[in-house]
Amino acid sequence: MSFSLEGKTCLVTGAGRGIGRAIALALGAAGADVAITYSRSEGPAKEVEAEIIKMGRKALIFQADAIDGKRADEVIGEITKAWGKLDILVNNAGITKDTLIMRMSEEQWDDVIETNLKSVFNYSKAAVRPMMKQRSGSIINIGSIVGVSGNAGQTNYSASKAGMIGFTKSLAKELATRNVRVNLVAPGYITTDMTDKLGEATLEAINKSIPMGKGGQPEDVANAVQFLGSDASAYITGVVLHVDGGMVM
């Protein structure tokens, strides 16, 4: 099912590959103009831009380090200058640096917290002013079920995603009177290029842990984002939506 985003403008951070790419394409397919950021590889981002333009939509791409607050202000400013407004912000940029805490360096901790959590602060803060001014908007943060359940070897990643939940609920309360909604999508095990490299035994064990018996696709997450960005979710804010096949209930 597709929810119309005709006339809306969007920004998806970290949208060159995987879940971010699927989200950007789903928003474009629903009728939105889509801007995306990438941190290092321009090629995949250019491919996403080309696909969105093929749909008959406008597209913009920006090289941006997610932890750079000044750059976040610049990106949002350029989007609102080009398109006049920003309706949907999807905070998707994120990394993992998994290891047991006994082996985790301070750098591994800081890198994950900054990229995953500080980036959400940077882009949300930059987007709040134009959204409040237009008295409408939807901020959608891409979290993870490990922010709810935890996971051994991912204390840094789990902490960053749990922090995003608190951030989402607090910002939702700040902005509700201005008709700006803030929600979080928490994916479970999603099949991507990275997970394809896991061994068959590992994949089988993961699938057994999922009540629905299979991993999700990036499009499953993108569909949830499309809904939360659309007017069909106009009375929903402060929600954590699990897209996990029942892994966390």
Residue 247 tokens, joined: 């892994």
Residue 194 has pLDDT above 70, yes or no: no
What pLDDT is stored for residue 201 in this prediction? 82
- Backbone CA torsion sign across 126, 38, 112, 162: positive
Q: Write out pLDDT tens, residues 77-87.
A: 999 999 999 99
* Cα distances (Å, whole numbers) of residue 46 to 17, 56, 86, 174, 197: 11, 16, 21, 36, 25
Indicate the pLDDT class of residue 203, thresholds 50, 70 and 90.
confident
CB 95 within 8 A of CB 66: no
Crossing angle between the packed helical segments 155-175 and 106-113, to the nearest 10 degrees: 30
Q: Write out pLDDT tens, residues 13-48.
A: 999 999 999 999 999 999 999 999 999 889 999 999
Q: Please tell me what DSSP assigns to residue 176.
A: G
CB 96 within 8 A of CB 112: yes
CA distance 147 to 234: 25
Q: What number is the average pLDDT over the span 68-76? A: 97
Residue type, 97: K
Return the SS3 of 10: strand
Indicate the pLDDT class of residue 192, thresholds 50, 70 and 90.
confident
The pTM assigned to this predicted structure is 0.96
Active site residues: 157
